[in-house]
Amino acid sequence: MRFDHLINPSRLTVARFYNVLLVLMSVTLVYSEYRNGYIYMVVVYVASMVLGPVSIVTSYRYERLQNFPAYVAVGITFVFFVVGSFTQLDSTAHLIWIPVSPILFFYLTNLRIGLVLTVISCFVLVAGYGSFEYLMNKPSVSLDDFYQAITAYFLTSALAYFYEADRDRQEHILFKQSEYDFLTEVLNRRGLGRILDGMVSQFERYGTQFSIILFDLDNFKLVNDQHGHVVGDRVLIELVGLVEKEIRSVDILGRWGGEEFLVIVNTTSVTSASVLAEKIRKMIEQHEFKTVKKLTSSFGVTGVVKGDDIETLFRRADMAMYDAKKNKNTVSVYANHDGLTGQ
């Protein structure tokens, strides 16, 4: 149960806090609403009293449910907006949900989901006016109050949308700067580490196999010494383009550092990964690079095993590549601690 990505810690805290407020409000209002005969509102308040604490507890206990408080906060707010705006129609107090709702829709979800909820809410706001009068046996709020509420809703929605769109753009820029290599535009060591950490956890939980290929260009220092760093940078960019054409869309290529690159081969045994490494090795060997012409590369291959973390996994790949460097232009597979080279 997730949005596009896990909600960030500060917004998760807001979602939890907002659920606490919803629960406290519901406790104070459920009895009075019951006496007034507003059964719809009583059901909503009771639901918030149950879902609020459940969402908070589960978000602390289960990582995969960390977005649950946001779902609850947005869902309850939406219901308050729909029901609360048209039930006690002799009071304008419930119209507070109209400007509040779009802010929470965008803040606690994402730009796409927030926009969808806002459009739906807008339709309910316009189409619902007067529709609940017969059902609730209460007069509608005055037309002037309703127009003011609509104006507040549109202004708040527009501001929330533009704010979140700008925040998304800035967040994307910062994310790319922090996790992507500026030169080659593939993941950097930090980005690769984040992905590997998640994949190791997934392997421990579900047994999802994957392998890694660590490789670098042989004698790359001579390229920089003889032709300069500008030519060396162009070689690395050209190398990335070659490798990306060879790997699958589900595989991940990144720059580990310097002329070292890492390929994360998803749902693949060590044996299959070594075959891919050999294909990449031959492709690099046969390719004619601009200015420097011919280059070779050395590869180290290993697969994830039980008890692994990023450090142990990379250490094995590094040792395998060190063995390959002895002869250069070769692929070396590190035998797992169970004595096998594949899973």
Q: Which residues are catalytic?
A: 259
Strands 297-303, 331-333: pairing kind: parallel
Q: How far apart are CA 253 and CA 176, in angstroms?
A: 15
**What tokens were used for 18?**
């907002």
The closest alpha carbon to 18, from 51, 43, 41, belongs to: 51
**What tokens were used for 221?**
């220092």
Order of strands across the sheet that contains 260-266: 252-257, 260-266, 210-217, 297-303, 331-333
Angle 310-327/189-206 helices, nearest 10 degrees?
Answer: 120
Decide if 1 contacts 67 (C-beta within 8 A).
yes
Angle 39-61/9-36 helices, nearest 10 degrees?
Answer: 150
Cβ burial of 98 (10 Å; 0-12, 13-18, 19+) is: buried
The type of residue at 192 is L
Q: How far apart are CA 336 and CA 343, in angstroms?
A: 9
